[in-house]
Chain A
């Protein structure tokens, strides 16, 4: 029995180390951003929010944050609509076609982001949208679409087809059935999908890097530029802002949908 206990404890310690490894960089960044000292160091010396003040004081960071939010919000709205429509479309397809369609929609997730970005760089240039806001937005929409689609389509899969049949037999047309029966039932999927779309867009790097407008940066890009020359807690504050948004997303998912149902 002692051997078994020792193994259990050893496994527990090992797992704790693994989970700590997973979370370490995030913890470090947040704590570094609260440092009271002048240098980016860990453990932080003292406690202060001044770096956040400096972050918001930087015009380039402020603009970057604003651009990131804009692009993310537009992505979320557009993608949620397109993904919901696509999921409903897939539901009406035959078995044979549904599989390939689903694979096509998941392709931007399965292909490396850098390659998709390169392709869009070339293509948008050809059609005159190179280095424009519109081009950047398209890139974000393409990459985030699979996230929303996955969430919405799997929620839709759980809806009993008999409900649609019942609705039709009671005289409701497709529109009424969709809006009054199916969409309300997949609301958690739509919300979860939307929130993940937001956060993926907000954090996106490679696509933004290649498609960005001259002089325009998203927050990750601004942070990247900053790190080339300065290595101080302002950068940590910028990074912490991203982390806070991520936490906010998780909290919203928990509140609106419940984490259990989301995963």
Chain B
């Protein structure tokens, strides 16, 4: 049925606000980041006239910023890996509980998301402070003699970010697991494969599409995390987003900040593309397809 003109108009009106909003206030701003990376720096204003490549040159000049980029990618990778290890058992559990319990556990998994990153980090600050429960327990157990400085280390930042990103890893994996027909487990068991063997040969491969989604999502989020490294890492943990924001807010060097943002984005994109490409075979095989 070819839409009548009236229908076309109506459709256009419905879609216009969202399209306008996103094109003007989302797509254009990203274009602006690219533009900004080529603008000249200025001492009196966020940026000056004219275009230049000087900012890119500055980024690659000494190893300093590249080093920070490298550490950011490394930290991001560790966070993703640890998050995956912790989230998979949770996803297994969540996908197998009956409906009545499902809502409760689902709420537990999603609840950290509902309170915002600041509150979560604040909670960790309390737990890990000098007088906090961790130090108290360690003292009580006699494992240490004086309270240990737990905050302001990379490890803590990793821990807190893993905590934040667990829901993002758990949910796609749970969805993938729930799509596996139970009769496949029964078939595997009936053919003689025990629980562990079934897990290894059926569950794991077929959950991979969810794993891939979760890994990509968490990696991107981990690389671009700002609040947590600042609050829990302080000046001892310096990652790219921290440096970028510094350039924008403190140093008013917008063009250079834009360059750092561009490089960070391109690095992330490359990592993601390489990962997606390398694992595309695994994802394709695991497509459940039509069930009779």
Q: Which of A26, A141, A220, A259 contacts B103 (CB 8 A)?
A: A259
Task: Tell whether, in the assembled complex, residue B36 and residue A122 are in contact, meaning their CB atoms are under 8 Å apart.
Answer: yes
Residues from 223 to 256 in B contacting A, C-beta threshold 8 Å: 223-224, 226-227, 231, 241, 244-245, 248-249, 254
Given A122-B29, A202-B116, A220-B116, A145 and B122 touching (CB < 8 A)? Answer: no
Task: Tell whether, in the assembled complex, residue B122 and residue A236 are in contact, meaning their CB atoms are under 8 Å apart.
Answer: yes
Task: Tell whether, in the assembled complex, residue A242 and residue B115 are in contact, meaning their CB atoms are under 8 Å apart.
Answer: yes
Q: Which residue of chain A has the shortest Cβ distance to B105 in the bound complex?
A: A19
Q: Which of A174, A210, A224 contacts B10 (CB 8 A)?
A: A174
Chain B nearest CB from A151 CB (Å) reads: 13
Given A22-B109, A42-B132, A206-B226, A118 and B33 touching (CB < 8 A)? Answer: yes
Q: Which of B19, B26, B120, B258 contacts A25 (CB 8 A)?
A: B120
Residues from 112 to 143 in B contacting A, C-beta threshold 8 Å: 112, 114-127, 129, 131-133
Query: Complex: how many Å from CA A144 to CA B129?
Result: 33
List the one stretch of A54-62, A84-92, A184-192 in contact with chain B: A84-92
Interface centre among B10, B21, B25, B133 (most CB of A within 10 A): B25
Chain B nearest CB from A81 CB (Å) reads: 8
Query: Complex: how many Å from CA A145 to CA B19?
Result: 11
Contacts of A236 in B (CB 8 A): 122, 126
Given A243-B119, A260-B103, A89 and B11 touching (CB < 8 A)? Answer: yes
Given A26-B112, A116-B29, A122-B32, A92 and B14 touching (CB < 8 A)? Answer: yes
Query: Complex: how many Å from CA A141 to CA B119?
Result: 22
Task: Tell whether, in the assembled complex, residue B224 and residue A142 are in contact, meaning their CB atoms are under 8 Å apart.
Answer: no
B288 contacts partner chain A, Cβ-Cβ < 8 Å: no
Given A22-B166, A122-B36, A236-B122, A85 and B109 touching (CB < 8 A)? Answer: no
B28 contacts partner chain A, Cβ-Cβ < 8 Å: yes
Task: Tell whether, in the assembled complex, residue B248 and residue A121 are in contact, meaning their CB atoms are under 8 Å apart.
Answer: yes
Residues from 70 to 94 in A contacting B, C-beta threshold 8 Å: 81-83, 85-86, 88-90, 92-93
Give 7 CB contacts A-B under 8 Å: A18-B90, A26-B115, A82-B17, A92-B3, A199-B114, A205-B116, A239-B122
Task: Tell whether, in the assembled complex, residue B119 and residue A26 are in contact, meaning their CB atoms are under 8 Å apart.
Answer: yes
Query: Complex: how many Å from CA A145 to CA B233?
Result: 31
Contacts of B107 in A (CB 8 A): 250, 259
Q: Which residue of chain B has the shortest Cβ distance to A27 in the bound complex?
A: B123
Q: Which of A39, A40, A210 contacts B249 (CB 8 A)?
A: A210
Instruction: List 5 A-B pairs, minimum CB-CB distance, nearest first.
Output: A25-B123, A203-B116, A119-B29, A112-B224, A89-B15
Task: Tell whether, in the assembled complex, residue A122 and residue B221 are in contact, meaning their CB atoms are under 8 Å apart.
Answer: no
Task: Tell whether, in the assembled complex, residue B32 and residue A123 are in contact, meaning their CB atoms are under 8 Å apart.
Answer: yes
Task: Tell whether, in the assembled complex, residue B30 and residue A22 are in contact, meaning their CB atoms are under 8 Å apart.
Answer: no
Q: Which of A25, A29, A145 contacts B18 (CB 8 A)?
A: A145
Chain A nearest CB from B25 CB (Å) reads: 5
A213 contacts partner chain B, Cβ-Cβ < 8 Å: no
Q: Which of A28, A107, A111, A246 contacts B123 (CB 8 A)?
A: A28
Q: Which of B17, B33, B35, B119 contacts A115 (CB 8 A)?
A: B33
A53 contacts partner chain B, Cβ-Cβ < 8 Å: no
Q: Using an 8 Å CB-CB cutoff, how does the interface string of B1-35 with A read, 1 for contact, 0 for none?
A: 00100010011011101110110011011111101
A5 contacts partner chain B, Cβ-Cβ < 8 Å: no
Chain A nearest CB from B13 CB (Å) reads: 8
A65 contacts partner chain B, Cβ-Cβ < 8 Å: no
Task: Tell whether, in the assembled complex, residue A39 and residue B131 are in contact, meaning their CB atoms are under 8 Å apart.
Answer: yes
Query: Complex: how many Å from CA A260 to CA B133?
Result: 36
Residues from 190 to 218 in A contacting B, C-beta threshold 8 Å: 199, 202-206, 209-210
A108 contacts partner chain B, Cβ-Cβ < 8 Å: yes
Query: Complex: how many Å from CA A186 to CA B26?
Result: 27
Query: Complex: how many Å from CA A70 to CA B254?
Result: 30
Task: Tell whether, in the assembled complex, residue A83 and residue B29 are in contact, meaning their CB atoms are under 8 Å apart.
Answer: no
B106 contacts partner chain A, Cβ-Cβ < 8 Å: yes
B86 contacts partner chain A, Cβ-Cβ < 8 Å: yes
Q: Using an 8 Å CB-CB cutoff, how does the interface string of B63-106 with A read, 1 for contact, 0 for none?
A: 00000000000000000000000100110010000010001011
Query: Complex: how many Å from CA A174 to CA B8?
Result: 12
Chain B nearest CB from A228 CB (Å) reads: 10
A104 contacts partner chain B, Cβ-Cβ < 8 Å: yes
Q: Which of A42, A125, A138 contacts B126 (CB 8 A)?
A: A42
Residues from 91 to 133 in A contacting B, C-beta threshold 8 Å: 92-93, 101, 104-105, 107-108, 110-116, 118-123, 125-126
Q: Which residue of chain B has the shortest Cβ distance to A101 in the bound complex?
A: B15
Task: Tell whether, in the assembled complex, residue B245 and residue A114 are in contact, meaning their CB atoms are under 8 Å apart.
Answer: yes
Chain B nearest CB from A84 CB (Å) reads: 9
B193 contacts partner chain A, Cβ-Cβ < 8 Å: no
Task: Tell whether, in the assembled complex, residue A227 and residue B93 are in contact, meaning their CB atoms are under 8 Å apart.
Answer: no
